[in-house]
Structure 1
């Protein structure tokens, strides 16, 4: 059996050495960090089974580091706080943030070993690292999204999440999921038609997540409408996601209008990566940590130039595409760090080439038609170009062509342009 790894973080060399000696004698593998910076680097590279963390350190106090790990989705191991100046208030604050326990210095040997043993047993029931909403970043767009989700957290109203593919709808749904309650991602949609109440019973007091509500058939939509009407009785929250424009599907007779009304009581737009590009370097770092900890790849660090290249690249596939690129780089780069050259190599492999433009390039227009018909033909080409470029995301189209959404839809209807993805 592999020895459990304990990370000891303390700015006093005597305490680090003493704890290391005691824990090593007990069969633990001990790593040492003399400040928050070293602890941060160590945690990013691998997940220890337990952290003993001093509160009072010169560069960054332990409470702040604990908050940082919690906000970054990295608090997936038990942390025991240590302090020679402990107070009840400090212990309560640390526990509220996520610390497992609190030890006051000087630490009695039996108390130390008892606490370490209890914390490691507790760790057996904690999930390994994974991407979550807190991993998405600190940009205004993500802070706004998280604030609105927190506002909805205590309510059981159904929620509709609207966003491009791969933008993180499931992370938003899991943010609203209460731990130790059922979670059901509905992959067998036919059960909505045949047994909607059984789904509610199965997920009592939990959450049902539907990844693409626009893919439901007519009978499944009726079943979902029935399920929504009874969900409150079972204490179930229902979160649906879509990449489509549901009002247009209603107009086309493809989506139930009553269901749209039921889902529209609470809806949120999820920003694309292009809308919070400043978060990409931190996202890349988080993904490297999670991929390494889950045993998918060997940990590699991105240098600053490589991170900048990732930030400046286009990601029409959003988080899903970014994760694939990060994994590719971690698997195929051969240096100690992932460099700009590595990033460019992989980004170029998957780049969509721009069509060649020359003086001979002509728009496919018949210049013998009337001015009105020529203008309509040009506008049709223009809007179809921007819709394709935005991957069907009408918010991005409206922003690119500088039209309000209402005016944009009116213009597309006039030109007989369909926006179904």
Structure 2
């Protein structure tokens, strides 16, 4: 052959061929195995190997293949909408955010780009925009570009002739398409998304029959990726009609008491938890906490306090105890780990042990954020989830 197996697998994936692949090599290295895994290989075998081992791996791959292929190529149209998050608070930061969201939502068909740190309720804000928009009676279809592969994106949004999929028009027309984690999209998906946005713009100009609006969300560092030419500049200009930066909670801690009330109301009304009142001292303590996890960290803390507490009032002691518990249970940083190379094991077993230790250490390094983990280790998130599963690592706990 003119190219090696890794190059062939890469060209297949770039062309949208998501068929299961088993890599086999007589001179396999750890680097080759990692590269093959990044490209979505089901397994990587080193020669020599027994026929029994080969048959076992083939049988396992064929057993899993139908589910993986269905996941890869079947168009999906999600229907569950995130709970709307209305930014609350009297601070100037909160007031400006509300005003910007309300003004942006009211402009029919204007695409909106939301940028924010992890935990800033970005999905809820997108849902809130939908509720305020002229498209509020239409559908809200959410698509996570961090988990979609190229074939799935194309089969969802385009028909075989390359035109906008009739399924998208049928279910989404008059509503909003919400594309989240666009900073995680592959190069091929970025190109296809630009094609889709151009096609939608053309349809709006030439016909009133197709009216679809888009909201996008990404990590706050997306402009940096554009500057570094790691994200499509063409797509960036198409997205950047209206850009709204969601502030971190650290920028407006004075709004924490109102956020507490909003989250308590949410958990009582929507999740049917028992109501508990936060004492003034408890609220003040939470105002002074450094919310590195932003709104999501506060929301999770409130949920735990509502579930675990037995008194009507959440006291300062309870809050302090829970915050101290978070510190004690926080994972050690990766540089505190030591790892001995298992030199007495066969290459395959040694590689698996190394991969498991490596991913656990990197998981702790990013404080359990799988999106950041995927960036750090250089893997597409779908393949990363599969790798974690194969190594018996829980994506929720890193163990």
Q: TM-score range by the shorter chain?
A: 0.5 to 0.7
Are positions 1:206 and 2:163 aligned together?
Answer: no
1:171 and 2:124 correspond: yes
- 1:141 corresponds to: 93
Deviations 1:345-403 (A, max 9, x none): 1111113799xxxxxxxxxxxxxxxxxxxxxxxxxxxxxxxxx99x9xxxxxxxxxxxx
Give the Cα separation in 2 of the matches to 1:322 and 1:223.
37
**Residue 343 of structure 1: which of 313, 319, 333 is its match?**
319
Aligned-pair CA distance for 1:145: 1.3
CA-CA distance at 1:344 after TM superposition: 0.6
1:222 to 165, 170, 191: 191
**Alpha-carbon distance between aligned partners in 2 of 1:151 and 1:141, rounded to the nearest angstrom:** 16
1:350 match: secondary structure = helix
Partner of 2:23: none
Structure 1 residues 349 and 296, CA, compared in 2 at 3 Å: closer, same or farther?
farther
**Kept after mapping to 2: 8 A contact 1:160/1:266:** yes
How many Å separate the matches in 1 of 2:224 and 2:310? 49
> Hey, what does 1:327 align to over in structure 2?
303
Shift >4 Å, 4+ stretches:
none
Q: How does 1:35-74 map to 2 (within 5 A)?
A: none
Map of 1:40 onto structure 2: none
User: Which residues in structure 2 correspond to 1:262-301 (within 5 Å)?
Assistant: 262-301=238-277
Distance 1:140-1:309 versus aligned 2 partners, 3 A rule? same
Kept after mapping to 1: 8 A contact 2:113/2:217: yes
Look up the match of 1:151: 103
Q: 1:218 to 1:297 in 2, by over 3 A?
A: same
1:192 and 2:145 are equivalent in the alignment? no
Instruction: Indicate if the aligned counterparts of 1:131 and 1:290 stay in contact, CA closer than 8 A.
Output: no
- Tell which has more relative contact order, 1 or 2 (C-alpha 8 A, sep 6+): 2
1:131 CA displacement: 5.7
- Distance in 2, matches of 1:306 and 1:172, equals 27
TM-score (structure 2 length as normaliser): 0.53
Structure 2: distance between partners of 1:210 and 1:264: 14
User: C-alpha separation between the residues in 1 aligned to 2:98 and 2:323?
Assistant: 30
**Residue 181 of structure 1 pairs with residue 133 of structure 2:** no
Confirm or deny: 8 A CA contact 1:137 1:279 kept in the other structure: yes
**Superimposed CA distance per residue, residues 153-186 of structure 1 (whole angstroms, 9 cap, x where no aligned partner):** 2231221111101112223212221433100110
DSSP-derived class of the 1:298 partner? coil
Unaligned runs of at least 5 residues, structure 1 = 1-129, 355-387, 392-421
CA displacement, residues 280-339 of structure 1 (integer Å, 9 cap, x when unaligned): 111111111211122352111111111111111111111111111001111122222100
After TM superposition, the structure 1 = structure 2 runs for residues 333-412 of structure 1, keeping only pairs within 5 Å, are 333-351=309-327
Q: Please give the alpha-carbon distance, in whole angstroms, between the structure 2 residues aligned to 1:316 and 1:347.
A: 13
Compared with structure 1, are the counterparts of its residues 311 and 155 closer, same or farther at alpha carbon in structure 2 (3 Å cutoff)? same
Distance 1:138 1:352 in 2: 34
Distance apart, 1:245 and its partner CA: 2.4
| Displacement of 1:219 | 1.4
In 1, Cα distance between the equivalents of 2:141 and 2:258?
Answer: 29
Gaps of 5+ in 2: 1-81, 158-163, 205-209, 331-365, 370-399
Tell me the distance in 2 between the aligned counterparts of 1:132 and 1:195: 25
1:330–1:195 distance in 2 versus 1, CA, 3 Å? closer
Question: Displacement, 1:146?
Answer: 1.6
**Which protein shows a greater Rg?**
1
Are 1:243 and 2:219 an aligned pair?
yes
Cα distance in structure 2, aligned partners of 1:239 and 1:185: 9
CA distance in 1, matches of 2:253, 2:278: 17
Aligned residue runs from structure 1 range 247-262, under 5 A: 247-262=223-238
- Residue 417 (structure 1) aligns with: none
Q: Give the secondary-structure state (helix, strand or coil) at the position aligned to 1:254.
A: coil
Count of residues in correspondence between the two structures: 228
RMSD of Structure 2 on Structure 1 (CA): 2.6
Note the C-alpha offset of 1:141.
1.0
- C-alpha distance in 1 between matches for 2:240 and 2:256: 31
